[in-house]
Structure 1
Amino acid sequence: MTSLLEVDALTIGFGDAPPVVSNVSFSVEKGQTLALVGESGSGKTLTCRSALRILPGTAQVRGGRVNFTTGGKTTDLLKATERHMRSVRGDRIAMIFQEPMRSLSPLHRLGNQVSEVLRLHRNLGPGEAKRRVLEQFDKVGFVDPERAWRSYPFEMSGGMRQRAMIAMAMVAQPELLIADEPTTALDVTTQAQVLGLINRLKEDTGMAVILVTHDLGVVANMAQQVVVMNKGRVMESGSAEHVLGSPAHGYTEKLIAAAPMIPEVARPAKPIGHKDVILDIKNVTKSFTMRAGGWRKPVVVTACKDVNLQVQRGKTLAVVGESGSGKTTCARVALGAEKPDPGGEVTFYAAVGATMIHVHDMTPEDRRMFQRQAQMVFQDPYSSLSPRMRVMEALTEPMEIHGIGSRADRRDKAAEMLRWVGLDPDMLKRYPHAFSGGQRQRLSIARALTLDPRLIVCDEPTSALDVSVQDQILTLLEDIRDRANLSYLFISHDLAVVARIADEVAVMRAGVIVEQAPPDTLFFNPQHPYTKALIAAQPEPDIGRPIDLDLVAKGAGAPTTWPEMFRFEGTSAPALRELEPGHMVRCHA
């Protein structure tokens, strides 16, 4: 059987340096899913981009072929004319990119960007194009497709932007879909639904899929064939059953071992005490007024409602939920970046017995002290580090602002913080672009530590990292917390990630906390359908344990579809009740 796409001895390099992709070969047939697996920098994305001829300008294809066979005709895409490639890109071969904010135009609404594919390749009129796009938006999980059509990318969360990218790639029903880390930034329930969607579309249309990922749990649920890459070379290839079931290469074994998994718990945990509180969030509701465009009335969106959380000194409170559930809004309110609606209050206690600080009613002196004591590590370290500042300047700037130490003292402190996060002080002279994603996240952590804070808010600090790097960052955060007696408010969409670092977990859905308990209690006896969906959606690197999409769909669906005990409409959610000591669930009595 003729392969749809065949990559033969592909070699890519930059300048006079050794090749970054060396002699890579694989093929994918119609209706088949092939997974390219490896850590960041292994050459997976460059290999796939070569098929669409969208490599960086300085990249050199030093050898090999990329043959695409359709309609009984085979074309070497590396030698095809640019006119022919324009007819291939987005139509016969579509690609889902990893970073949607860089791939979507900030000047155009999402609906216009996605419908452009249909106007260019299908010659559809505006009305029919909009109908198909809204249908696709609904399939990829937009609760309100019309609102998504009217929105600009910056009005959407990272997960929502990724859904729009997936809709753009799928709307023309291509013959081959190249998915470059399509679910890395998505919450696990959306990830499970998107993986199921890709599989259904593949079955309906006979589409082939090349899945680029570092997560072998995703591979186990999607791929028939697997190619494992490291440092530009193929380490191992074969059927998913053989590669995952009996890996022959040590690198593959390492990737499997690093995959985060929901722990098996034999008994519930003892309830956590709330005696020494460093951060107290009381009755916080936050609403935003969204412009609707034209003559339509503005729309009020409630990002979070009646949130009550307490962070214990020296402990980690994790807030888990899908994109758009209100997690980051809560974190911004906690740090004073957003003001809660009337009735909400956030208080901070710098030390045991210290004077209480009302975060949203601070004097300038209080605010200066609070900003030293509470720091934030952001989800995207590349965006939070200035590309024009060397690491030295980025790390010493917070100390300069707060007038801490002499220039030599600040330089010594910056070097010490680099050692704390496992980096060499010689790296102080470099710029952020010279570091990998995991190293940039370590730099963000080091910058947050320079002021010796007591509380750190971690907003999805590992979501875009390889599983092995993610494991290193979590170990680092645990070590720093124990060494410096730090407190963490840890924002995540992945229960498997917080299982190892959190002392207490609050699960958020649609702006409200639906369940709260220590991790062991939550995994031993989950009660809420959404919590059960989060657990069921966690992919495992075992083809014998696929994701239960039906269970995920029940919990991740609208609150009106939940079992009667948990069901509600609009914002009239039931109260958060204590079902057992330390275990709170939002349900009807």
Structure 2
Amino acid sequence: MTPLLDVADLSIGFGTAPPVVQGVSFCVMPGETLALVGESGSGKTLTCRSVLRILPASAQLRSGSIRFGHKGAVQDLLALPERQMRAIRGNHISMIFQEPMRSLSPLHRIGNQVSEVLKLHRSQSGAAARKQVLETFEQVGFADPMRVFRAYPFELSGGMRQRAMIAMAMVAKPDLLIADEPTTALDVTTQAQVLGLIKDLQHDTGMAVILVTHDLGVVANMAEKVVVMNKGMVMESGPAAAVLGAPKHGYTQKLFAAAPMIPQVAAPSAPMPQDDLILDMRHVNKTYEVRAGGWKAPIIVRACVDVNLSLPRGRTLAVVGESGSGKTTCARIALGAEQPDAGSQVMFRARGADAALPVHAMDRAQRTKFQRSAQMVFQDPYSSLSPRMRIQDALTEPMEIHGLGTRTDRRDKAAEMLRWVGLSPDMLGRFPHAFSGGQRQRLSIARALTLDPQLLVCDEPTSALDVSVQEQILTLLEEIQRRMGLSYLFISHDLAVVSRIADEVAVMRQGVIVEQAPPDTLFYSPQHPYTKALIAAQPEPDLSRPIDLALVAKGAGAPCSWPEMFRFDGTAAPALVEVNPGHQVRCHV
């Protein structure tokens, strides 16, 4: 059978530097899924962009050919005139980009952006395009297609935007879909549903898929063939069963070793001690009013509902759940950045001998002292550092604000913090754009440490990182905790990461804690259907253990569809009950 896409000896470079993609070759058969695997900077995305000829202007295609077989004819995409290439882009070959918020126009409604594909490539009228787009929206799992059609990108969650990008790529029914890290920053349950969606669409339409990813668990659930890339070259390739079952190259083995996995067998562990709490949150509620539009009454959103969390000194408490579950709202309330509803209580004790201070009722002096003691590491290392500030200025700014030390002292402290996070003080003069994602996350951690805090709130600090870089950041956080005695409030949607770093885990869904226990207990004996769904949705690099989409859908579904013991309607959730020492589950007794 003739390959649908045949990439041969592809090399790409910039200027006079050595090639960043060198001698890459692979082929994709009709209806087949091929996974391009590797860390950031390995050349995966450049290789895929060359197929559509949407490389940066400064990129040079130095050698190779890309042949595409369509309707019995084989065309070299690199030699086609631009007019013919435009007829292929989005029509016969579509691409789902990694960051949907950057790929969608913020000024146009979702429906208009997806309809544009049909108007350009099918010359469809507005009514016909609208009908087909709404059908595609329903196909990709939108509960209310018309609402999404009329919505702007900022009105949708990350998972919904990614589904909209899939709809845009699929609406013209392409022969080849290139999916560039389509699930990297998604919740595990949303990721499982998106992967299942791509497989269903592939089954229905017979299209081929190139899946770009660094997650071997995703590869095991999706691909028939695997190509492993590093530093622009192919390290290993072959059938998924051979590459995942017995990787031969050292780089592939390294990726396997770095992949976080939920422990399969564990013994229940003891709950955390409660005698020396650095942070104590009691009966925390947070309600928002969201504008409904027109003359309609505002919509009431309950972000946190009777949340109770206790963090002992020197320990790590993880809060796990999907986007919109209330995790980050909890973190912001803990830091005093968000005002909770009346009756909520948040107490902070910097040192064991200090009196507990109410975080939301501090005077100016207490607030300044608290802000030195509690710092935050944000999710996105790219937007948490100002692109206009050199690293030295970014690291010394917190000390300047709090009036700590002389200019020389502050610079020395910044250099010391860089050494702590495994970077060189020589980097102080650089700007953030000169660093990789993993290095920027290290810089964010260094900035948070410059004030010698006692509490560090980590909001998804590894979600957008490669598995090997993720492993380095987790190891770094563990080492810093040992050296400084720090306490961590760790926000995540990834139970595999949490199992590595946490002393206790609270699972949140729609503002409510549904289960709480030490990680060994939680993974040894999960009780709540939502916790089971999170565990089932975690992709693992094992072909014999595919994601159980039925179990994911059951736990991630509406509370009224859960088993009788856990079922409830509206906001009338049952109480949190201690089923075993240190193990609490929200259920009917």
TM-score if structure 2 supplies the norm length? 0.96
**Over residues 70-109 of structure 1, what are the superposed CA-to-partner deviations in whole Å (9 max), with x where a residue is unaligned?**
1122222222222223222222211111122221222233
Paired positions, count: 589
Structure 1 counterpart of 2:395, one-letter code: L
- Residues 139 and 383 from structure 1, CA distance in 2 versus in 1: closer, same or farther, beyond 3 angstroms? farther
State the distance in 2 between where 1:142 and 1:317 align. Answer: 34
User: 1:335, 1:374 within 8 Å by CA — same for their partners in 2?
Assistant: yes
- Residues 337 and 134 from structure 1, CA distance in 2 versus in 1: closer, same or farther, beyond 3 angstroms? farther
- Residues 311 and 148 from structure 1, CA distance in 2 versus in 1: closer, same or farther, beyond 3 angstroms? farther
User: 2:376, 2:458 within 8 Å by CA — same for their partners in 1?
Assistant: yes
**Over residues 351-383 of structure 1, what are the superposed CA-to-partner deviations in whole Å (9 max), with x where a residue is unaligned?**
113232222222222221121111111111111
Please say if 1:161 is aligned against 2:145: no
Please say if 1:4 is aligned against 2:4: yes
State the distance in 2 between where 1:241 and 1:153 align. Answer: 39
1:516-527 map, 5 Å: 516-527=516-527
Q: Report what 2:243 is aligned to.
A: 243
- Residues 167 and 297 from structure 1, CA distance in 2 versus in 1: closer, same or farther, beyond 3 angstroms? farther
Shift of 1:123: 4.3
Please say if 1:491 is aligned against 2:509: no
Shift of 1:146: 4.8
State the distance in 2 between where 1:375 and 1:125 align. Answer: 54
Q: Report what 2:439 is aligned to.
A: 439
User: 1:274, 1:310 within 8 Å by CA — same for their partners in 2?
Assistant: yes
Q: Report what 2:32 is aligned to.
A: 32
**Over residues 451-478 of structure 1, what are the superposed CA-to-partner deviations in whole Å (9 max), with x where a residue is unaligned?**
1111111111101111111111001001
Q: Report what 1:287 is aligned to.
A: 287
Please say if 1:181 is aligned against 2:181: yes
- Residues 296 and 108 from structure 1, CA distance in 2 versus in 1: closer, same or farther, beyond 3 angstroms? farther
1:245-284 map, 5 Å: 245-284=245-284
Shift of 1:116: 3.0
Q: Report what 1:346 is aligned to.
A: 346
Structure 1 counterpart of 2:290, one-letter code: M
Shift of 1:141: 5.0
State the distance in 2 between where 1:96 and 1:279 align. Answer: 42
Please say if 1:72 is aligned against 2:45: no
- Residues 214 and 405 from structure 1, CA distance in 2 versus in 1: closer, same or farther, beyond 3 angstroms? same
State the distance in 1 between where 2:190 and 2:241 align. Answer: 25
Structure 2 counterpart of 1:556, one-letter code: A
For the residue of structure 1 that corresponds to 2:285, the secondary structure is strand
State the distance in 2 between where 1:131 and 1:306 align. Answer: 44
- Residues 164 and 253 from structure 1, CA distance in 2 versus in 1: closer, same or farther, beyond 3 angstroms? same
Shift of 1:169: 2.1
Structure 1 counterpart of 2:299, one-letter code: V
Structure 2 counterpart of 1:409, one-letter code: D
Shift of 1:161: 3.0
Shift of 1:12: 0.4
Shift of 1:575: 1.2
1:200-211 map, 5 Å: 200-211=200-211
State the distance in 2 between where 1:121 and 1:300 align. Answer: 42
User: 1:160, 1:323 within 8 Å by CA — same for their partners in 2?
Assistant: no
Please say if 1:17 is aligned against 2:17: yes
Structure 2 counterpart of 1:560, one-letter code: C
State the distance in 2 between where 1:296 and 1:119 align. Answer: 34
Structure 2 counterpart of 1:353, one-letter code: A
Q: Report what 1:576 is aligned to.
A: 576
State the distance in 1 between where 2:260 and 2:187 align. Answer: 14
**Over residues 105-131 of structure 1, what are the superposed CA-to-partner deviations in whole Å (9 max), with x where a residue is unaligned?**
222333333333334334455555455
State the distance in 1 between where 2:112 and 2:293 align. Answer: 15
Q: Report what 1:364 is aligned to.
A: 364
User: 2:521, 2:583 within 8 Å by CA — same for their partners in 1?
Assistant: yes
State the distance in 2 between where 1:330 and 1:141 align. Answer: 29
Please say if 1:191 is aligned against 2:191: yes
For the residue of structure 1 that corresponds to 2:500, the secondary structure is coil
Further displaced range: 393-402 or 289-298: 289-298
Shift of 1:150: 4.1
**Over residues 272-326 of structure 1, what are the superposed CA-to-partner deviations in whole Å (9 max), with x where a residue is unaligned?**
2222111122222222222233343332222222211111111111011112211
Q: Report what 1:535 is aligned to.
A: 535
1:213-228 map, 5 Å: 213-228=213-228
State the distance in 2 between where 1:362 and 1:118 align. Answer: 58
**Over residues 499-518 of structure 1, what are the superposed CA-to-partner deviations in whole Å (9 max), with x where a residue is unaligned?**
01000001111221110000
Structure 1 counterpart of 2:337, one-letter code: A
Please say if 1:588 is aligned against 2:579: no
For the residue of structure 2 that corresponds to 1:16, the secondary structure is coil
State the distance in 2 between where 1:477 and 1:274 align. Answer: 23
State the distance in 1 between where 2:55 and 2:442 align. Answer: 28
- Residues 513 and 392 from structure 1, CA distance in 2 versus in 1: closer, same or farther, beyond 3 angstroms? same
Structure 2 counterpart of 1:293, one-letter code: G
User: 1:94, 1:177 within 8 Å by CA — same for their partners in 2?
Assistant: yes
Q: Report what 1:99 is aligned to.
A: 99
Shift of 1:580: 0.9
Q: Report what 2:563 is aligned to.
A: 563
For the residue of structure 2 that corresponds to 1:499, the secondary structure is helix
User: 1:141, 1:190 within 8 Å by CA — same for their partners in 2?
Assistant: no
Shift of 1:147: 4.5
User: 2:266, 2:521 within 8 Å by CA — same for their partners in 1?
Assistant: no
Structure 2 counterpart of 1:222, one-letter code: M
Structure 2 counterpart of 1:439, one-letter code: Q
Further displaced range: 339-348 or 513-522: 339-348
State the distance in 1 between where 2:323 and 2:260 align. Answer: 19
Shift of 1:153: 2.8
Shift of 1:543: 0.9
Shift of 1:61: 0.8
State the distance in 2 between where 1:57 and 1:64 align. Answer: 18
1:426-465 map, 5 Å: 426-465=426-465
Unaligned runs of 5+ in 2: none
Further displaced range: 155-164 or 74-83: 155-164
Please say if 1:508 is aligned against 2:538: no
Structure 2 counterpart of 1:545, one-letter code: R
- Residues 522 and 435 from structure 1, CA distance in 2 versus in 1: closer, same or farther, beyond 3 angstroms? same
User: 2:266, 2:523 within 8 Å by CA — same for their partners in 1?
Assistant: no
